[in-house]
């Protein structure tokens, strides 16, 4: 009778996990090649990190808040203009930040500033009958904002070449939840909360190069808001403007600044990635 040879010993659990981890590292290396564009071939030599304004630049805050309001209205029977509500909510956060900036309020997270504005709007728009749980969930609509269509593919291309992170007035937990919900592929989370200064204070911008161990001119702020970029430039950062014509709705398209005012002018994140691509490739 023919002898049956035993099969080779299967991989031990430890060997399997080691092999799996090694494969994952290799796949990650292939997907995210950590080349830097900080070479003489770069469109803007020396830039190693891109930090992004978030509300309006990375995500469609207005469309997302309208959607969340419509869902709330369907559940509660509210019949209001959710576009107007979204605009009022957004416009209230600047004055609320100024109360922190001028010392009227101690340092206060953006979540809490949003809630202060929301409580006033609930009274004004007669959104009666909301429980505390419903108010808290609606306030966290800012954690669930949807990205623009070009955002994620653009960020993935940019992440192949640069460190990328938000630099927003949103608090860390807000930005983290937003990233998890929307699939934003940040390398890290940077927030005004880390400096305890809201933009446009220079401390908010300078905290990014400090934490990344870079000089200010090695960091570029990407934003759809010229005033944000001007303040970043005054702090020594490079600047990249991305045009978001529909940020405030199709009835009020935004007007772009002069194309030569900032270091780069892009129509979206894919255009930004194309302009920042190493020209030697």
Q: Is residue 8 part of a domain?
A: no
Q: Taking 60 as the threshold, does the pLDDT of residue 12 lie above it? A: no
Q: Are 192 and 268 found together in one domain?
A: yes
pLDDT tens for 48-65 read 999 999 999 999 999 999
Alpha-helical runs (H) found in the chain: 13-31, 61-76, 82-101, 110-124, 132-139, 151-159, 172-182, 192-195, 202-211, 226-234, 269-276
The reply to whether 153 falls in a domain is yes
Shared domain for 121 and 252, answered yes or no, is no
| 30: pLDDT strictly greater than 80 | no
**pLDDT value at residue 43:** 67
Instruction: Note whether residue 262 is domain-resident.
Output: yes
For residue 167, pLDDT over 80 is answered with yes
Tell whether 74 and 213 lie within a shared domain: no
pLDDT at 101 over 70: yes
Q: Within this chain, do residues 66 and 132 fall inside the same structural domain, yes or no?
A: yes
Domain termination residue (choose one: 84, 116, 143): 143
156 and 75 together in one domain: no
What's the pLDDT at 279?
32
In terms of domains, do 164 and 241 share one? yes
Angstrom distances, CA of residue 148 to CA of 25, 82, 174: 30, 20, 18
If we measure between CA atoms, which residue out of 180, 179, 185 comes closest to residue 50?
185
State the Cα–Cα distance between residues 281 and 268, nearest whole angstrom. Answer: 21
Q: Is the pLDDT of residue 193 over 70?
A: yes
- Please report whether residue 7 resides in a domain: no
Q: Which of 143, 161, 181 is the last residue of a domain?
A: 143
Does 242 fall in a domain?
yes
More confident residue, 66 or 9: 66
Res 45: pLDDT? 86
User: CB of 238 within 8 A of CB of 219?
Assistant: yes
| pLDDT above 50: residue 39 | no
Q: Considering 120, 143, 166, which residue would you say is the last residue of a domain?
A: 143
Whether 29 maps to a domain, the answer reads: no
Residue 197, pLDDT above cutoff 90? yes
The CATH number linked to 92 is 1.10.150.240
The domain containing residue 205 runs over which residues? 37-58+148-276
Structural domains of the chain, count: 2
Residues 31 and 25: their CA atoms lie apart, in Å, by 10
Contact 107, 100 (CB under 8 A): yes
Is residue 50 domain-resident?
yes
pLDDT tens-digit readout, 81-99: 999 999 999 999 999 999 9
CATH number of the domain to which 219 belongs: 3.40.50.1000
User: pLDDT digits over 232-273, tens only?
Assistant: 999 999 999 999 999 999 999 999 999 999 999 999 999 999
Contact 225, 248 (CB under 8 A): no
Query: Is residue 21 predicted with pLDDT exceeding 60?
Result: no
The per-residue pLDDT for 105 is 97
Domain co-membership, 166 together with 264: yes
User: What does the block give as tokens for 260?
Assistant: 């030569």
Same domain (yes/no): 79, 189? no
Say yes or no: 178 and 67 in one domain.
no
Q: What is the pLDDT of residue 44?
A: 84
CA 40 to each of CA 33, 47, 67, 275: distance values in angstroms, whole numbers, following the listed order: 19, 11, 46, 15
Domain assignment present for 10: no
Cα–Cα separations (whole angstroms), residue 137 to 30, 147, 169: 39, 20, 20
Average confidence (pLDDT) over 149-153? 98
Q: Are residues 131 and 249 in the same domain?
A: no
- Regarding whether 208 and 71 lie in a shared domain, the answer is no
| Bigger pLDDT: 77 vs 40 | 77
Same domain, yes or no: 154 and 134: no
């Amino acid at each position: 009778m023919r002898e049956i040879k035993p099969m080779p010993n299967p991989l031990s659990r430890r060997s399997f996990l080691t092999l799996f981890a090694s494969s994952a590292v290799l796949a990650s290396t292939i997907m995210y090649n950590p080349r830097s564009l900080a070479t003489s071939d770069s469109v803007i030599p020396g830039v190693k990190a891109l930090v992004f304004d978030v509300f309006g630049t990375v995500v469609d805050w207005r469309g997302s808040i309208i959607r969340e309001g419509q869902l709330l209205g369907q559940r509660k029977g509210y019949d209001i203009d959710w576009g107007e509500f979204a605009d009022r909510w957004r416009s209230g956060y600047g004055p609320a930040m100024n109360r922190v900036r001028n010392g009227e309020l101690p340092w206060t997270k953006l979540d809490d500033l949003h809630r202060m504005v929301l409580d006033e709007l609930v009274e004004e728009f007669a959104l009666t009958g909301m429980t505390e749980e419903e108010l808290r969930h609606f306030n966290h609509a800012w954690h669930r904002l949807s990205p623009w269509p070009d955002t994620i593919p653009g960020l993935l291309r940019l992440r192949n070449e640069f460190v990328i992170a938000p630099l927003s007035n949103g608090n860390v937990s807000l930005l983290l939840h937003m990233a998890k919900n929307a699939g934003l592929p940040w390398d890290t989370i940077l927030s005004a909360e880390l400096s305890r200064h809201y933009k446009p204070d220079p401390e908010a911008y300078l905290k990014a190069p400090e934490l990344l161990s870079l000089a200010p001119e090695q960091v570029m702020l990407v934003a759809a808001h010229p005033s944000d970029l001007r303040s970043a430039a005054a702090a020594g950062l490079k600047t990249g403007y991305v045009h978001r014509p529909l940020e405030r709705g199709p009835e009020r398209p935004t007007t772009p600044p002069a194309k030569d005012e900032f270091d780069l002018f892009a129509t979206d994140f894919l255009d930004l990635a194309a302009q920042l691509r190493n020209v030697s490739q």
